Structure 1
Amino acid sequence: MFSGGQLGMAQQLEGDWLELATTGGSTIRVLKAAHPRARRLRLTVTPKGARVSYPRGTHPAQVSAFLRSHADWLEQKLDELNLLVKPLPPLRVGQPVEIPLRGERIWLDWDEGPYPRIASGEGVLTLILPRPHTRALPVARGLLASHLESLIRRDVSRWLAQYVPQLGLAPTALKVRPLKSLWGSLDTRDRINLDLALALAPPAALRYVLAHELCHLKVRNHSPRFWAQVETLFPNWQEQRDWLRQNGAVLKAELDRLVADVAD
């Protein structure tokens, strides 16, 4: 698909990921992991995605250089597994497009009406905008961002009613917004942040991220005690974590196409 050696500079992200951009516009996300017994850098690719492991204390610049030196091999393997995030066509007013929503593929359509709103139907989401269409695209993006946030808040409010009594703890606030690399976070004031892109994922994936952040109310690290708490709150969490690792880059690219430039 692309010629060798076209990977751009690796950009270190929050969390456990590195993101690499190709000159063709594709994005590669590589899971990074320090390994206590590793003696050298190692790059692997599976159907779950790409992973680079390295000895503890390795400088991030060394990891980036290592990935660039294996650009040909990495790009070829990811392309073979259809894991490259290919450029998405831009959102255009009046042109229907297929998008993911809550883990399903639906159509995003357009119509005219007296005021801006979104109408939901079976397998279709319709953006209704008045004429003239001078600011149609930014208005449409704002509508989409608000709609996606409302879907997340609706689910979260229902699950919190179950989880808070189990934990005996509750977050002080919830913020939903586009996040560059993370799916969620818990700040020092016990406020939960969730990525708006989770509205595009299956509800179970969103539920896992919520449970994950809620468990940080009790355990602030990722120790075995933390994961035991996650297992209690959300059994079989590994399946949803793996799904996000495999499909996350695509979801974030889809969200960027839909709501790019919308203020938090």
Structure 2
Amino acid sequence: MPMFQIGERQIDYSLRRSAKATRASITVTPGSFELLVPEQATDDQIQAVLRRRRAWILETVCAMQERAKAQARVYRFATGAKVPYRGQMTRMTVEPFDGTLVEVSFRNGFMIRMPRDLPEDEADGVIESALRLWLRRRIRDDAKEFVQRHGARNGLKPKGIQIKEQKHMWGSCGKDRQIHLNWHLIFAPRPVLEYAVVHELCHLRHRNHAPEFWSLVASIVPDWEARKSWLDENEHLLGWERLQTA
């Protein structure tokens, strides 16, 4: 990955060309950024964009790194640990049992049953994997529920729903009418997830963000702006960081 030098700071970035892009755009993450340019953009034009936006890039990367520090940190997947779920920090209880696979359920908190003979040095990784799988299944169920609630009656019928690990997007709607959702949306309140699903459903009719698109969104979720604002302001909280102990 190339590096972009700003003063004494070096920032990782990636360059992506697209035949669909009409102008340059930059997507920033806590440690890097992606520069999207039209397919025919020259090296001089690309460098001009980077020079023009260098101060903004540095400020935004630093701001996102500070915000990322607020993300939930998990040292051990054990009783008492908390992870985000539907907009709240949620406690987990871990109990040993005589089964062979980790079992996850939810009753006012995560209830996790762990095989009694699971080696201690493997427990955290196995529990985390099981919890992630449970959450991905949960968001798929929630998304299907929202599609059933809002899709057919508004003439918006997707071919299917796929739950993915998307780096820069909360969702997308392909030309094949498949809706893709970032699984991290399970960490947001259900109304925010509902907005994300409706947003992609509306792209089945309007492929851009023209006024007609937002009018359709508003006809289904009138308070969409508040839901979108929550997502914009709290995206750095949607997930957890597993910290390794020495």
Return the TM-score normalized by structure 2: 0.72
Gaps of 5+ in 1: 33-57, 259-264
Preserved CA contact (<8 Å) 1:173 1:190: yes
C-alpha distance in 1 between matches for 2:105 and 2:131: 11
CA gap of 1:172–1:153, structure 2 versus 1, over 3 A, is same
SS in 1 for 2:191: helix
Q: Distance in 1 between matches of 2:46 and 2:227?
A: 28
1:113 and 1:172 map into 2 onto residues whose CA distance is 41
Identity %: 23
1:98: Cα distance to partner? 1.9
1:1-264 equivalent positions in 2, closer than 5 A: 6=9, 8-10=11-13, 18-21=27-30, 61-65=47-51, 68-69=54-55, 78=63, 84-86=67-69, 89-94=73-78, 96-115=80-99, 116-122=102-108, 124-130=109-115, 131-133=117-119, 135-251=122-238, 253-254=239-240, 257=242
Question: Match for 1:19: what amino acid?
Answer: V
Deviation string, structure 1 residues 221-241 (Cα, Å, up to 9, x no partner): 111111111111211211111
Q: Flag the 1:168–1:180 CA change in 2: closer, same or farther, 3 A.
A: same
Distance 2:160 2:229 in 1: 27
Alignment CA distance shift 1:233-1:5 (3 Å)? farther
Specify the code of the residue in structure 2 equivalent to 1:94.
Answer: A
Measure how far apart 1:248 and its partner are.
0.9
RMSD of the alignment, in Å?
3.6
Residues 72-91 of structure 1 deviation map (CA, whole Å, 9 limit, x = unaligned): 76578x49xx9621175455
> What SS class does the counterpart of residue 9 from structure 1 fall into?
strand
The one-letter code sitting in structure 1 at the alignment partner of 2:11 is: G
Contact 1:205–1:240, Cα closer than 8 Å, also in 2: yes
Q: Which has the larger radius of gyration?
A: 2
Q: 1:10–1:18: 8 Å Cα contact kept in structure 2?
A: no
Give the paired residue count.
Answer: 220
8 Å Cα contact 2:191/2:227 also seen in 1: yes
d(CA) in 1 for partners of 2:90, 2:59: 35
TM-score (norm 1): 0.68
